[in-house]
Structure 1
Amino acid sequence: MASKMEETYVHRKLEAHKPFSTKQFFLQWEWLLVLILIGVMVLNTLLSPYFLNVTSLRDATMIFLDKSFIVFPMAFIMIMREIDISVGSSVALSSVVMATAYNVLGMPMEVAVIICLLVGALCGLLNGLLITKFPELSAVIVTLATMILYRGIAYIILEDQASGNFPEWFGFFGWGYIFGIPFILIVFVIIAVMFGLLLHKTSFGRRVFAIGHNDVASKFSGVNVNRTKLIVYTLAGVMAALTAVFLASRMGSTRPNIANGYELDVIAMAALGGISTAGGKGRLIGTVIAIFIIGYLQYGLGLINIPSQTLMIIIGALLLFAVIVPKVKEMRR
């Protein structure tokens, strides 16, 4: 196992010292994603006269960027060869607890938001603890169980009711601007840069990649695998809670069934962005492009009232494309 890690390391060192190739540079997955994004923009422009203008493109980000916060930790999780399908339920539970803290318990909204973030962190931490303490259980089974658990608790708290009446300033998270730029877009850029630096420029990111290549060999090489997984899953919970804040702000209320299906969109964005489902591979720049591909695709087709089932088919086809194309390239090599 150790020799396999050494071979991978040597291979990467050799790649790093290869002379620059313009052809190889433009054959990278991210350039294909840029072409797909251009295709999506052209298609939406042809289908709807209301799509291609600065105001529309700017304001569309306020509709689809809330779920994008979860994509970044999900990319880390997938690079480690794990998965988390409970993120949508974590969003629901965090938002429901926040609304209850404000409307029922009478806490200040600022405190309710902090509680929301803590609940999300606890949800992610519980996922990480279960996965690390019971390694014989797959992450799919564990997070499937917690997905049902978190959503069930949200229904117990609010039943099938909505809870809103948030203070006026709270709406700024979802609909506010700073110098004409949506606040959520500014937050998105900051978080994308932070996660990008964390993954590609720190020893923590290198440990994430090492675990994805071989977690057993990583453990014998001195990497604290369990602690790394705990941190990543907790980050996923915190980002789910941040999504809850922005989503509740945009909607003006919350209920237990919000963010239903978010986990599928998030996984699709990460996979389309080039994050390998086999672990150990991926770059966040591709994930960022994929977020805008799927986001603008959903927004543009929504303008002409395309049914949600059709959107699911298109996203599913993109996901298959993202999984199959790299495998075909590997087979040719």
Structure 2
Amino acid sequence: MGDKPLRWEAVLLVLCAAVFVAGAATTPGFTDADNIGFLLLDHTAVALLALALLPVVLVGEIDLSVASTLGLCSALTGVLWDAGVPFETIGPVVLLAGALLGAVNAVLVVGLGLPSLAVTIGTLGLYRGLAYVVLGDGAVTGFPENYRPIATDAVPGTFLPFSALLVLVVGAAIAVVVHATPVGRALYAIGLGEQAARFSGIRVRRIKFALFVASGLLCAVASLVYTLRYNTARADNASGLELVAVTAVLLGGVSIFGGRGTVLGVAGALLLTAGLRNVLLLNDVTNEVQNVVNGLLLIVSVLVPVAAGALRARRRTAPAAVPAPVPEEARR
């Protein structure tokens, strides 16, 4: 690579390899096929939320309500199932609800021009509160057995869960859109400079609106997977997962200011965080310690790009070396 800086995706690959090698060496059962399948299954919801966040962050916005959207959609699933509505009807209704919740964020951020950080912190609490209003403190269980394998079982003959396959399909689709279409180029342009993108003819408001709606829709998909996997609909489902998803996105190299990042980087970060979580679980580390680790990763994911940018800027602005004056004796 010469003098080129090492790409962050390559760094993540090395870190993933280190985690998996350390896990195999220190944790019995870590490399078993069943455990690798569980590792992927355990991170499915986080992966879907991170993929929902990725395009939003690329344009310089944020959606902190993703986990609360999942929780409210899960609560809606439980209420409808408890009322005797067929699951074939519940699925489309929940997907529509997720899109509408994303549209609420879009109206507030794009339509009214409010900052997405403040708006989605507000809807984070609002949607979680509405989940309790809809379902209360109880839980609904007993979802149809013919649908549960989609969220719990592996593809026959492999250790790859069906839900992980769903993540791969969604991730591949987003990768194509982001990295191989004019829409993807528009996302980067908006993130690098919204005003310049608007002057270039990019429909900034329309694209941002669509991204928030798509984020809500993907959160609804995650809610169906989450609810079926645990066979329970609760108002507190996925509580706190928004920070894990944000960590994966930022650790994957997506700039919090927009305009930079790749789907491959986020995939590497998801694999890294999944491996770390699994090692900690197998070693009976408490949730409190896991939260500490996740918080540290979030800080590192923000600090490293800022420090790297400051270092590059310092190198660019460093004054050229001034030649030392020639002594008078040497000029004679």
Q: TM-score, normalized by length of structure 2?
A: 0.89
Match 2:115 to one of 126, 138, 144: 138
**SS of 1:168's equivalent?**
coil
1:25 CA displacement: 7.0
Q: Which residue of 1 aligns with 2:93?
A: 115
Corresponding letter in the other structure for 1:133: G
Write the distance in 2 (CA, Å) between the matches of 1:92 and 1:149: 11
Aligned residue pairs, count = 310
Residue aligning to 2:323? none
Q: What's the RMSD between the two structures over aligned residues?
A: 1.5
Task: Kindly indicate whether the alpha-carbon contact (under 8 Å) linking 1:47 and 1:304 is maintained by their aligned counterparts in 2.
Answer: no
Measured in 2, the distance between the counterparts of 1:64 and 1:24 equals 36
Mean Cα displacement is larger for which, 48-57 or 245-254?
48-57
User: How far apart are residue 49 of structure 1 and its match?
Assistant: 0.5
Tell me, in whole angstroms, the C-alpha distance in 2 between the residues paired with 1:40 and 1:281. 26
1:253 counterpart = 2:232? yes
CA shift digits 1:302-331 (9 cap, x unpaired): 111101121122222222222222333333
CA shift in 2, pair 1:82/1:301, >3 Å? same
Structure 1 contact 132–226 (Cα < 8 Å) conserved: yes
Secondary structure (helix, strand or coil) at the match of 1:297 reads helix
Aligned to 1:149: 126
The answer as to 2:67 corresponding to 1:75 is no
The answer (yes or no) to whether the contact 2:105–2:212 under 8 Å persists in 1 is yes
Measured against aligned partners, the alpha-carbon deviations of 1:167-221 in whole angstroms (never above 9, x if no partner) come to 1112112112223331012111111110000101111111111111111222222
Q: Distance in 2 between matches of 1:187 and 1:25?
A: 36
CA contact (8 A) 2:49 2:67 kept: no
Structure 1: 4+ residue segments shifted above 4 A: none
2:193 is matched by which residue type in structure 1? Answer: N
Distance 1:325 1:23 in 2: 22
Normalised to the residue count of structure 1, the TM-score between the two structures is 0.89
Equivalent residue runs for 1:1-333 within 5 Å = 22-23=1-2, 27-104=6-83, 106-135=84-113, 137-179=114-156, 180=158, 181-333=160-312
Contact 2:78 2:135 in 1 (8 A): no
Greater CA radius of gyration, 1 or 2? Answer: 2
CA 48–90 in structure 1, closer or farther in 2 if over 3 Å, else same: same
Q: Deviations over 1:65-103 (max 9, x none)?
A: 122112123111111111111111100111111121122
How far residue 26 of structure 1 moved from its aligned partner, in angstroms, is: 7.6
2 CA distance for matches of 1:329 and 1:116? Answer: 42
Q: Unpaired segments of 5 or more residues in structure 2?
A: 313-332
Q: Percent identity?
A: 28
In structure 1, how many angstroms separate the alpha carbons of the residues matched to 2:292 and 2:34?
Answer: 28
Does the 8 Å contact 2:76/2:135 carry over to 1?
no
